Amino acid sequence: MNYLAHLLLSGPNPDTQVGGLLGDFVKGPLKGGYPPEVEQGIRLHRQIDTLTAHLPAMTQLNKLFESPWRRYAGVVVDIAFDHLLAQRWQEFHRQTLPEFCADFYQHLSSHRHRLPEQAQQFCDRAPGLGWLESYADPDIMATILNRVGTRFRRPVALGDCWPIVQANHNHFDRAFDETMMELSLFAESFLHLSMSASSISCDLTNQNLDGRNPPLIPSQRNAHL
């Protein structure tokens, strides 16, 4: 998935949303270099990317792209989904897309000092460009894809793929609906379990600080019988 979808799936916590963006910029193991909610968002981003790559709806879309575009299909589909999400944003969020983006840009700037260099560039440029909200405009999608294509080791005119998306818009609409439903349920479950684990960890820490022993796990109970 691309930027906008990851932000939506990160839930309402602004720090987790920052992590949802940083999943594209932060690589390797997480060692506490970011606030817990930011790292939670990065982990969720990685899990979503892993899950998405194996969803049947996504693999079927990839087959719509013939050589030489098949190798870039995943990138194009991700960006096409952000376009669909931006156009249908009010189905998924109570805020308008410009309001949501403005709030996110502002909160992201509060983390600027800890962002990787490329993420800092996004932080600095995105508000002025209306980066995320621009995905709603079908007339510039080919331009956006071409901009992405310049980042490859060998630049590619990725915008030439956009007619494939337009010609198969019904397939993309159906796959988008299926994928967003599945990913929304997954993300909600992930965030709920993460919150529960964090709450249990906090309770155990407080018990230790109070001088109380934590509850015995079953093997410890048996040892006392």
Give pLDDT tens digits for 3-29.
999 999 999 999 999 999 999 999 999
pTM: 0.86
Say which residue the tokens 């030439």 belong to: 160
pLDDT single digits (tens) 56-73: 999 999 999 999 999 999
Q: Is the pLDDT of residue 214 over 80?
A: no
Q: Is the pLDDT of residue 128 over 80?
A: yes
User: Is the bond preceding 29 in cis, omega lying within 30 degrees of 0?
Assistant: no
**Mean pLDDT value of segment 77-94:** 98
Q: CB–CB of 93/8 below 8 Å? A: yes
- 159: CB partners within 8 A, 6+ apart: 141, 142, 143, 144, 145, 146, 149
Band of residue 195 on the pLDDT scale cut at 50, 70, 90? confident
> Which pLDDT does position 200 carry in this prediction?
53
Which residue has better confidence, 126 or 214? Answer: 126
Q: Where are the domains of the chain?
A: 3-186
Q: Is the pLDDT of residue 201 over 80?
A: no
Amino acid letter at 108?
A: L
Q: Name which of 101-105, 124-128, 150-154 the model is least confident about.
A: 150-154
Whole-angstrom distance, CA of residue 148 vs CA of residue 15 = 26
Q: CB–CB of 8/188 below 8 Å? A: no
**SS3 for 186?**
helix
> Which burial class, exposed, middle or buried, applies to 125 when counting CB atoms under 10 A from its CB (0-12, 13-18, 19+)?
exposed
Nearest to 13 by CA among 206, 187, 135, 197: 187
